[in-house]
Chains A and B, each alone.
Chain A
């Protein structure tokens, strides 16, 4: 069942007025005043924040459990949000084990992160993963928003020769999977993301955007007939490719029609980003800002962000670390490398804090976006020196679940249990996900 908030007034009445679109559709003007009963009806958001190459676990893991733990160095940037988050240690992804496949780690653990599945080892076209948790929620939401989900990141994908040996680059370029064979591309260019949210330079006001969308929908309609005809002429194995295309066009058409019936999100006076900023700091903040904006305008309710692709080799001269991240993560127990790695971890954590801050600043009715969200921060590994996928550094935040400080779970517990808990908190009526054995209790 799709839970939709009931508007307090007719949406059409908004469009009629002055032609000017609202910067914040329906969230303020149209929503009924928030009462406890209504809280269940407000749109719920999912936000995933991913860091590559694992985590130095000692500076991450709090010494004690429960609510009165002291924040270890890596988690210090999260101090303002300590009461609205839970640190979970002990979770793992058993499905990321080799099970007879090659020795690689990244190629298996990265796609397992949000899917809890054991991927097929291949460098070729026959990749097979599973639908990821964020896409399960997106599917559940159906056409409620004009964008089903937003996948963003910082790194351009597919640096040649630098994906995990034996595993297709598709496995480490992203964490979000539409279905077992379609990975969703990660957008690293803020200009591209801005356009997806608000349209391009020619149609930034809602009237032109509406006309543009209507035309797109009818064109897609004509094209769908064309595609069906072409598909009929192809062999069975080729038809699959066309069918992916057909499904996608029908999906977009439906969304456009839905979006056309609702108030348009207006970029207003927001400047369109011109490209990828030179500085890492500026780039990350911009991508986080765009994600928050998208949720604020209810363009989407599902967002994943990767601060680097898995096996990222970025260096961080701005914090004095000139060695590449992936090399440092194979520290071989050398103190200097471990220190630098922890510095990178902490640096990344400051941006997770930034995300939480932005979400807490944006109002959604009486509460903040953060309170309406399930936020997940994680990595495919704990200590990545030996590709340890059974002791993962997880932090969850947001008002959709209760928080208990530092929670540690029995070794071997699959992270899919937590993903299941997240799905249930988001309102998806499901009792299993990935290799889950039951929802993780957070109380």
Chain B
């Protein structure tokens, strides 16, 4: 894999170990601009919306034009500028220039730390849900009831983008009421029906698909078949009816007929449960799948009396009851004979004859005391509300904080009783801006523009939002209150603790889920006529592989470079079959060592990424190339120019392949500038179809996965692409740091961050590219630790400062 020496030397980083040539900036910079830049990048032509005319070497010493200089550092450093076709500066000159530029930028940042602008931000729906879970020990899916948040810079936790509309506040108010009721367990709940529809595959061209002869969830027994499990929060102890809507098994599979509804009555204690219905795995399944179907009006009739199948009712992993369900066998002529009984939807109705929920985790968390007399009520209420507010507001609370909450308590207490009063105070707490918003404090009397370390309390909140997407827990809060959290040894210990905690799963769900576009996977719609193998199990397995992969790297503090190239991944049988990998049996996921002949490894070998970067019925070289540039190299292509003509599909009557069509585009210089960067990366992945399966041919022609980079480097297929990416591993490390930093700071990157990103990436590179080094580096960075006192006179009109 020949990688140009030029690319290697300039791959985003200038190492201090290399003795770099010295230049005299006052003379060399204007000369460089004249010779290599300003012919295009001047005030009149403004090629690429960029001009060097106002830039002077002296800028670097007072941080002027920082954005422009950082852009130059990036473009020239990555070898993109000057363009290949134009004159290039001598290697020593280029190296000297870059060394001076980077050292100047880094030096300025060290001398004048600038943490950027941190605006007040509200908790997004995920953070709100986690905060409720951690504050009240309440395990309910609350996020579902809040509107989805808008994203910015690729993430949905960006302070400025998290707007506050009346619709949103209305939802928070409604949700606060529900949470308060659930947490206190008060009130006599009426029986309500909660339903969960089971994700099922539909029939293909009337052929139908049999229910799978394997367990459908890790929460169901190993020997189970199909069915489903739902998480259910029982508001009160009592009787509940669990019903399953089964497939009709005799005719149209998706009808829900009353005669196919089976029910069982169970007793539940108040609190969170998992409730499941499942059949039993057949040890000798009939694997034939009929695809014929009689298209006339005849309704297929059973050929024999039904057989009774056991349907187990499982609560929290234990089998409580078994129902006997009739199962019919149809004539061999009909596809429906392969529709074994399965569950389409689970309903849970209740509670019936409820008993008060006196002992739940959330009640124990809330009621630190129970007043034995009226005289004890006020002090007890104060104690409870103070404790709750302390955790919820993430700081010690005073009289002014407690007054409105106590008022809410008193008003409700008057009309009802002590516990209802507490419930009202809790509702008020959950709607309070002190809970919903993260507003950081500046030292009193600090002049605008002064940079100071954030308080320990603010640090605790930033830390827990970053690593847990939640509020700080008691140990973190205590350290912060004692003013010890910022001490390096203490901070590092806490970071270790937090990363080992199950709550760090939030980084996988929220950071990786958005960085890797995993959240898009649910809405991807591959064409089932072309990819009939893309079923619900495969979709779920793809997402799981990438999640487990990220979590593994995070928890074992493995090298970031595993994202680019790994000799392992996580598979279950379904996914392994899709990849053509033998020897993996069962529905559970496990780590699998990869043989290079299996054509997998790293993120780009994973079905999830390959699928979300495709269309429903064909791959997209451009989408995949763009994904790599954006998410792995932080080098997104600019938007397409106006009047992009559509790809000509046929030329001289001959149908063109995707490659040929794109070649036509790259012949046009206006398009070529970007496509020469993007397309090769996508072409190298052409061996993977629109659902991530490996292929040697596409539409009758052999797949051609050869590609050429703008600098002439040739490579082929995923192994070749991995080589190219590894050659740019420092650029990747910077790109990863940048993405994680956006997520950690809840804002976009500004030029002042770039020196810090470089420093963090260097530290990671020196530590075998370990992922936790990046995390610790971000937390130790100026941007995370410091804060600039905002300008009081600036009036916000929704614009940039």
Contacts and interface: CB of A to CB of B under 8 A. Distances in A.
Given A124-B153, A185-B165, A274-B197, A218 B408 contact: yes
Interface in B631-687: 638-649
A220 B196 contact: no
A240 interface: yes
Contact of A236 (B154, B400, B791): B791
Contacts of B523: 155-156, 159
Given A219-B427, A226-B434, A248 B166 contact: yes
A230 B167 contact: no
A323 B616 contact: yes
B169 A218 contact: no
Contact of B617 (A98, A275, A323): A323
Contact of B156 (A158, A212, A215, A332): A158
Contact of A123 (B153, B194, B514, B792): B153
Interface in B433-480: 433-434, 436-437, 439, 441-442
A160 B153 contact: no
Interface string B133-174: 000000000001101111111101011110111111111011
Contacts of B437: 230, 241-242, 245
Contacts of A127: 798
B520 A223 contact: no
Interface stretch (B184-192, B301-309, B562-570): B184-192
Contact of B194 (A124, A215, A274): A274
Contact of A201 (B156, B164, B190, B405): B190
Contacts of B144: 189
A234 B408 contact: no
Interface in A297-343: 313-315, 317, 322-324, 327, 330-334
B165 A184 contact: yes
A72 interface: no
B643 to A, nearest CB: 7
Interface string B498-540: 0000000000000000100101100101011110000000000
Interface in B194-242: 194-197, 200
Interface stretch (A166-174, A354-362, A368-376): A166-174
B432 A223 contact: yes
Contacts of B514: 160
B181 interface: yes
A324 B615 contact: yes
A237 B151 contact: no
B165 A178 contact: yes
B770 to A, nearest CB: 27
Given A125-B152, A218-B411, A251 B433 contact: no
Contacts of B616: 315, 322-324
Contact of A168 (B149, B152, B174): B152
A223 B796 contact: no
Nearest to A227: B433
A223 B431 contact: yes
Contacts of A58: none
Interface residues of B, number: 104
A91 B794 CA distance: 41
A200 B150 contact: no
Given A159-B523, A168-B161, A237 B174 contact: no
A124 B431 contact: no
A212 B175 CA distance: 12
A240 B796 contact: yes
B642 A103 contact: yes
A366 B405 CA distance: 50
Interface in B732-764: 748
Given A103-B644, A226-B434, A236-B793, A183 B428 contact: no
Contact of A183 (B150, B646, B800): B150
Interface string B611-628: 000011100000000010
A104 interface: yes
Interface in B402-421: 404-405, 407-408, 411-412
Nearest to A275: B197
A332 B794 contact: no
Contacts of B145: 192, 195
Contacts of B194: 274
A182 interface: yes
Interface in A231-272: 233-242, 244-245, 247-249, 251-252, 271-272
A125 B158 contact: yes
Contacts of B792: 235-236
Nearest to A170: B150
B177 interface: yes
A229 to B, nearest CB: 7
Nearest to B406: A222
B433 A240 contact: no
B790 interface: yes
Nearest to A273: B195
A202 B187 contact: yes
Contacts of B642: 98, 103
Contacts, number: 267
Given A102-B639, A220-B173, A241-B119, A235 B404 contact: no
Interface in A111-134: 123-128
A322 B177 contact: no
Nearest to A126: B799
Given A156-B523, A168-B152, A274-B195, A216 B177 contact: yes
Contacts of B165: 178, 182-185, 244, 248
Given A161-B517, A202-B189, A238 B152 contact: no
A242 B120 contact: yes
Given A103-B639, A322-B617, A237 B794 contact: yes
A235 B791 contact: yes
Interface string B30-68: 000000000000000000000000000000000000000
Contacts of B176: 219
A393 interface: no
A332 B649 contact: yes
B178 interface: yes
Contacts of B187: 202
A223 B154 contact: no
B151 A315 contact: no
Contacts of B121: 241
B154 A125 contact: no
A196 interface: yes
B704 interface: no
A10 interface: no
A385 interface: yes
A148 B436 CA distance: 23
B412 A215 contact: yes
A28 B609 CA distance: 56
Interface string B690-720: 0000000000000000000000000000000
Interface in A14-67: none
A183 B163 contact: yes
A68 interface: no
A123 B153 CA distance: 7
Given A227-B433, A242-B120, A322-B527, A236 B794 contact: yes
B798 A180 contact: yes
B630 interface: yes
Given A178-B165, A201-B192, A222-B404, A160 B517 contact: yes
B166 A148 contact: yes
Contacts of A215: 177, 412, 424, 427
Given A178-B165, A233-B439, A278-B197, A241 B120 contact: yes
17 contacts: A123-B152, A124-B153, A159-B523, A160-B151, A160-B517, A184-B165, A216-B427, A223-B433, A233-B439, A234-B120, A240-B798, A242-B439, A248-B165, A252-B170, A313-B615, A322-B529, A332-B648
User: What 7 A-B pairs have minimum CB-CB distances, sorted nearest first?
Assistant: A332-B646, A125-B160, A235-B790, A274-B195, A222-B404, A103-B642, A237-B796
Given A235-B790, A314-B525, 10 more contacts: A103-B644, A125-B161, A161-B627, A161-B630, A170-B161, A215-B424, A216-B173, A226-B433, A244-B163, A248-B169
